Chain A
Amino acid sequence: MNDFMGRKVSYSSQMCFIPEESTNSVPCYRLLSTHGDLLDPSSINELDKELCIEMYRKMVTLQVMDTIFYDAQRQGRISFYVTTIGEEAINIGSAAALNATDVVFSQYREPGVLMWRGFTLQQFANQCYGNEYDLGKGRQMPVHYGSNELNYLTVSSPIATQVPQAVGAAYGLKMDKKDACAVTYFGDGGTSEGDFHAGMNFAAVLGAPVLFICRNNGWAISTPTSEQFRSDGVAIKGQAYGVRSIRVDGNDALAVYFAVKNARKMAVEEFRPILIEALTYRVGHHSTSDDSSKYRSVDEIEYWRTRRDPVARLRMFLQSNRWWDDENEDLLRQDLRTQMMSVLHNAESKKKPGLSNLFEDVYDVIPQNLKEQEQETQAIVGKYPKDYPSDVPLD
């Protein structure tokens, strides 16, 4: 016999309100101490040395790429950039735990996932410069990368819209019985959007194989999490939707890796969504349009940048196991800097996309009115070239 809501209800004559906060905060899973020591030394046997080294190399690559692109924006060479400084472990640790066929719906602070899958530094640069080699054909602002081949959907700015979209894709994967899941990333601020609520709720109702990865980095532009929500962070919201969840130390690449690996297995095998809250800190400004020293102390930023750097933490782990040394480090960083300089120079020297790219892809097949507009535009630009930028090819 069904009671209210079709479940067994346990009645009580003790009037009891669920408290607004629990005495115990949701525990945070970590494998490494802040100094890179394995908390459980015996777990070294479960670690793959080559994988750990590759993860580290990619984290360094991400850090170097970000630093150089940021400087390029400051110098006026690109118009805009968003760094991922401080969140390298989330980016690479999660990416390494996924399969290449898992479909990624990112926010905009997860280029490391694309990088792990094979997007080259040159491709990142081409997109930032919006040149003719940009896979995005110059349609979008910098950092709005995407690649069908790598199953990473083109970045879209509105916050959290990717959350229900990922659930929709996960539903498709389930209907097609694919051995794959959808993965969506968002920040602490994104959990305030209505789309987060709808996405979580739907995923649970539909039994969608989707990972919700929240980068709780403490700041949504100038809004600290204390002003974003009053809950014990984000992981706690899972149960309210019937979604299994975990909180993980987002600056511990190994913890992120294992948490995501396990979550993925559950999502795909049990057809359920999983929420992962990765605690971290946004070391950089929100974007190049922001100066975060205006709303947070420089000391706080420096503390996290120097004393809680996820890249340095994994390095300490690798070096204490003699899987890495200073010489490897110097060589890697030097090589990356040289590569980046060449990549920037290359991207800068390329032509911009031709005029036809203005009118294509509005629809699957270009409509007649746009064909006519393109011809008119070509004619006018051809007739008055001095009135138009010189670097826009007419084809």
Chain B
Amino acid sequence: MQSPSSLRSFCAAAKEMTVRDALNSAIDEEMSADSKVYLMGEEVGEYQGAYKISKGLLQKFGPDRVLDTPITEAGFTGIGVGSAFYGLKPIVEFMTFNFAMQAIDHIINSAAKTNYMSAGQISVPIVFRGPNGAAAGVAAQHSQCFAAWYGSCPGLKVLSPYSAEDARGLLKAAIRDPDPVVFLENEILYGEAFPVSAEVLDPSFVLPIGKAKIEREGTDVTVTAFSKMVGYALKAAEILEKEGINVEVINLRSIRPLDRATINQSVRKTNRLVTVEEGWPQHGIGAEICTSVVEESFDYLDAPVERITGADVPMPYAANLERMAVPQIEDIVRAVKRACSRSARGK
């Protein structure tokens, strides 16, 4: 039985909003509502944000609340965490999560573990956000997906939006959450527009953390995805519809906590599972989802679980190689067919 919240469509209105504007408006509203919320990162102020996510915010809130930082991810992350210990609610922007690796000690050892290590005395209401995963033509040091690494860490919450509605609702939830949240965006999605309803546009709109969304209902196979891959999965579903395969697409929204209930409920209905992610295969998100389903719904599986992931290589630069290194819609289509025993072998 579907839960009502996953069935409701918020897309009744004609208004459209880009993911960029969704994020910008979410930050704007939360900063207006709570004077403890502030934004810091490289280029977030005068430059209006490396990807223009923070456009207009310096002008509106001033340099006390929108801080342009010197180039030291480790430094400003440490400072952000320290201010959160004190009681402020920082939003730390990384130009990409690849650069956050220079700050990962503060994210894990100073933020994620602190509430536990201090026995609840020190809470860390901080949000770490920025583009994650592959963009286009930016090669190995700018294309890594960090969902699996952060997703494995107790003490962190990890979110990854797909649509403008996701971006608004999840970012607002993240900013309001007392725990440290890693918020994995996608550069390619920033410019994409999605329909948004009046409810989504309301400043009080917020989405629950830890709940996945059924983007498309189906009966034959469950496809899980997050971020940009949700769009690919939906397109694959349209193609497969024409061949009589009815795909259910789950937009994870939350990597940690993972909505195992929704995923398992879906697989118990469809009996087949394909996981999709852009990141590397070993120890990836799909590996965790597969195990969760094997542990809880083994008897319901009619076929082995299929995993679609990025290639097990650092991201190459040349356009043709890059295309081979990340999942394409065709890969998802073929995987679904394999799960439905429609093709003998091969990818």
Contact = CB atoms under 8 A, between A and B. Distances in A.
Size bracket of the A interface: 35 or more
Given A103-B86, A201-B70, A171 B119 contact: no
Contacts of B105: 158, 161
A169 B121 contact: no
Nearest to A149: B121
Interface string A360-395: 111110011100000000000000000000000000
A164 B88 contact: no
B116 A161 contact: no
A300 B67 CA distance: 49
Contacts of A103: 86
A59 interface: no
A198 B178 CA distance: 26
Interface in A145-162: 146-148, 153-154, 156, 158, 161-162
A168 B79 contact: yes
B76 A198 contact: yes
B36 to A, nearest CB: 8
A205 B63 CA distance: 12
A168 B121 contact: no
A195 interface: yes
A118 interface: no
A362 to B, nearest CB: 5
Contact of A165 (B64, B79, B123, B177): B79
A367 B257 contact: yes
Interface residues of B, number: 44
Given A146-B122, A168-B83, A169-B83, A154 B117 contact: yes
A165 B76 contact: no
Interface stretch (A135-143, A278-286, A316-324, A327-335): A135-143
Interface string B143-157: 000000000001101
B75 A364 contact: no
B195 interface: no
A253 interface: no
B117 A363 contact: no
B254 to A, nearest CB: 11
Nearest to A138: B119
A158 B74 CA distance: 13
Contacts of A137: 119-120
Nearest to B72: A198
A275 B75 CA distance: 18
B37 to A, nearest CB: 12
A166 interface: yes
Contacts of A166: 82
B123 A364 contact: yes
A371 B75 CA distance: 36
Contact of A168 (B70, B82, B114): B82
Given A167-B79, A202-B79, A172 B109 contact: no
Given A173-B86, A364-B178, A202 B118 contact: no
Contacts of A163: 78
Interface in B31-82: 64, 67, 69-70, 72, 74-82
A135 B122 contact: no
A194 B117 contact: no
Contacts of A209: none
A167 B82 contact: yes
Nearest to A158: B109
Nearest to B74: A194
A164 B79 contact: yes
A105 interface: yes
A124 B76 CA distance: 33
A165 B122 contact: no
Contacts of A156: 109-110, 114, 117
A86 interface: no
B82 A164 contact: yes
A154 B86 contact: no
A363 B179 contact: yes
A195 B85 CA distance: 17
A197 B83 CA distance: 18
Contact of A169 (B82, B117, B118, B119): B82
Nearest to B78: A164
Nearest to B156: A363
A173 B82 CA distance: 11
A139 B83 contact: no
Nearest to A357: B119
Contacts of B118: 136, 139, 146, 153-154, 361
B304 interface: no
10 contacts: A146-B122, A153-B85, A161-B78, A165-B81, A168-B82, A199-B78, A201-B70, A362-B116, A363-B155, A364-B179
Q: Which 5 A-B pairs have the closest CB atoms?
A: A198-B75, A165-B82, A168-B82, A164-B78, A168-B83
Interface of A: 103, 105, 134-137, 139-140, 144, 146-148, 153-154, 156, 158, 161-169, 171-173, 175, 182, 194-195, 197-199, 201-202, 205-206, 357, 360-364, 367-369
Given A168-B82, A198-B75, 11 more contacts: A103-B86, A105-B82, A137-B119, A148-B121, A156-B114, A158-B105, A168-B83, A171-B79, A172-B86, A194-B75, A363-B155
